[in-house]
Amino acid sequence: MSQAVAARPMRDLVTWPQEGYTRVPLQVFADHEIYSWEQDLIFRGPTWSFLGLEVEIPEPGDYITTFIGDSPIIVVRTADGGINALVNRCVHKGSIICYEPKGSRKRAHNFVCPYHNWIYDFEGGLKTIAFEKGIQDKGGMPEDFDKSKHRLIRLRVDTIRGLIFGTFPEATPPLRDYLGPVMVEHIERTLHGKPKILGRYSQFMHNNWKLYVENSRDNYHPSLLHAFFSTFKLNRLSAEGGTRQDDRNWHHITFTKRYTDAGDQAYDSGMIRAMKTNYGLKDPSLIDQWMEYPDQITNSIQSIFPGFVLQQILNSIGTRQIITRGTDKCELVWTLIGFEDDTEEQTYVRVKQSNLVGPAGLVSMEDGAIGNFVQQGIKGDLDNVAVIEMGGRGVGGMPTRATETSVRGFWKLYRELMGV
């Protein structure tokens, strides 16, 4: 149950600077032992991780495979319509049991390890061992082998608006308590219908997973690193925006209201067409949108500790799931969604705006490279620290985007969980 078996205690590995969460020791982005502890204390610790969308497993027996940190996970729809999550590791030799991204076991209602055909039910119980009694009374498992003592690790599962989350410990607070009311309300607001998957791809990044998490919470960088909006005069500097957090500062929302300076006429429910004459683009219809949300928020990025992001960029709605791939690599899985009751025109707008996001996204592609720039930069100076003081030295929501308050919020919970 541990990846940190060979690691020294965390307190021997890092001493956090006395300045607290305004400083981050750079070694946490490069150290293998710290990485092992993160698997145990964060990903298998008292946190909820995103596993997928309910719509991916509509029927009993439907399953998907995914990861929490490094741990392979099976998520399956049970006979009674519930959802179970199991560690995808056979108790015999440790092989993964399900090796496809998705599938269905609707007839058999079990999982069969491909190596020696050990068979498990959807609760993780070991039901059958091939040749358990041997062949012609020779071989087989010992008489006293107790199958009930060997089972797949089962996670707790909860859902919110079609998103599936899982956690390892019994002690993790319930999902809604873990998220807090501000985060719950925003998830329920963003996912206002029955989701429909429009596309899925991933971005492989050459940086530690935490550098991407920081990036997703850093609302200081977008207008500086992602120059697309400003170069083509697409952003209005007077647009209202800010940062929200739950009351423990674990999670984060940054939001913008693009049309706050445009008067009330922009807020009707129809399409808002970008005028060609006002922009540097030959085809500004790229940023045509409809006002999808009554709160008039046109951009929001919600980052849930440790590695989940829910995005609304104009009408581009999607989830991003961070999968750890070693100290200096991670993978970001993007799922772009619409809703069942979207009109054809609305789907078209979402498809067109897909140009803004993902590894080729006009306002997001740089995020795939910038973490690697940091990873390259810190190599010779792992005894040094990052400085995180934009917007002050505290945590908490702020009526501005010129702040790193939510990056500090991340490190606050990180330190609590890691005990440093």
Specify the residue, 338 or 391, whose C-beta has the smaller distance to other proteins.
338
- Residues 79, 103: contact at Cβ < 8 Å? no
Strand 102-104 relative to strand 62-68, pairing: antiparallel
- What is the distance between the alpha carbons of residues 386 and 19, in angstroms, rounded to a whole number? 11
Restricted to residues 39-58, the positions that interact with other proteins (CB under 8 A) are none
For other proteins, the closer of residues 155 and 314 by Cβ is 314
Using the contact rule CB under 8 A, the part of the chain among 91-99, 172-180, 348-356, 383-391 near other proteins is 348-356
Interaction of residue 361 with other proteins, rule CB under 8 A: yes
Lookup: tokens for 344 = 């054809």
Q: Please identify which residue in 347, 374, 385, 396 interacts with other proteins, judged by CB under 8 A.
A: 347
Residue 414 within binding range of other proteins, rule CB under 8 A: no
Among 130, 141, 360, 387, binds other proteins (CB under 8 A): 360
* Residues binding other proteins: number (CB under 8 A): 39
Closer to other proteins at the Cβ: 168 or 229? 229
- The DSSP element (H or E) to which 410 belongs, if any, is helix 405-418
Q: How far is the CB of 209 from other proteins (least distance, A)?
A: 15
Site of tokens 């209202």: 240
Selected from 13, 74, 75, 336, the binder of other proteins by CB under 8 A is 336
CB-wise, 133 or 276, nearer to other proteins?
276
Crossing angle of the two packed helices 209-217 and 405-418, in degrees rounded to 10: 140
Q: Distance from CA of residue 397 to its chain's centroid?
A: 21
- What's the CA gap between 211 and 307, in Å, rounded? 11
Asked if 198 interacts with other proteins (CB under 8 A), we say yes
Residues numbered 297 to 326 that lie near other proteins (CB under 8 A) are: none
Minimum distance, C-beta of residue 331 to other proteins, in the bound complex (Å): 7
Q: Could you say whether residue 227 binds other proteins (CB under 8 A)? A: yes
Smallest gap from Cβ 259 to other proteins, in A, equals 22
Nearest alpha-carbon partner for 100 in 75, 81, 118 = 75
Rounded CA separation 258/261 (Å): 8
78 vs 355, beta carbon nearer other proteins:
355
Residue 229: CB minimum distance to other proteins, A: 9
Residue 300 token pair = 């929001």
Return d(Cα 277, Cα 284) in angstroms, integer: 9
Q: Does 223 bind other proteins (CB under 8 A)?
A: no
Shortest distance, CB of residue 287 to other proteins, whole angstroms?
A: 11
Query: Considering beta carbons, is residue 115 or 290 the nearer one to other proteins?
Result: 290
Q: How far apart are CA 275 and CA 95, in angstroms?
A: 57
Closest CA to 311 of 186, 151, 227: 186
Nearer to other proteins, 145 or 348 (CB): 348
Binder of other proteins out of 359, 374, 400, 415 (CB under 8 A):
359
Residues in contact with other proteins, shown as a per-residue x/- string from 102 to 121 under the rule CB under 8 A = --------------------
- Binding other proteins by CB under 8 A: which of 98, 183, 191, 286? 286
**134 Cβ neighbours under 8 A, 6+ residues apart:** 140
C-alpha–C-alpha distance, residues 212 and 331, integer Å: 10
Of 309, 329, 327, 308, residue with least CA distance to 317? 309
266 binds other proteins (CB under 8 A): no
Single out the residue of 76, 129, 205, 301 in contact with other proteins (rule: CB under 8 A): 205
Q: Is residue 221 at the binding interface for other proteins, with CB under 8 A as the rule? A: no
Task: Answer whether 91's CB lies under 8 Å from 126's CB.
Answer: yes
What one-letter code names the amino acid at 174? P
Please report how the helices 209-217 and 367-378 are oriented relative to each other, as an axis angle in degrees rounded to 10: 120
Separation between Cα atoms, residue 270 and residue 349, nearest integer Å: 12
Binding site for other proteins (CB under 8 A): 197-206, 225, 227-228, 231-232, 280-283, 286, 331, 336, 347, 350-352, 354-355, 358-362, 365-366, 368-370, 372
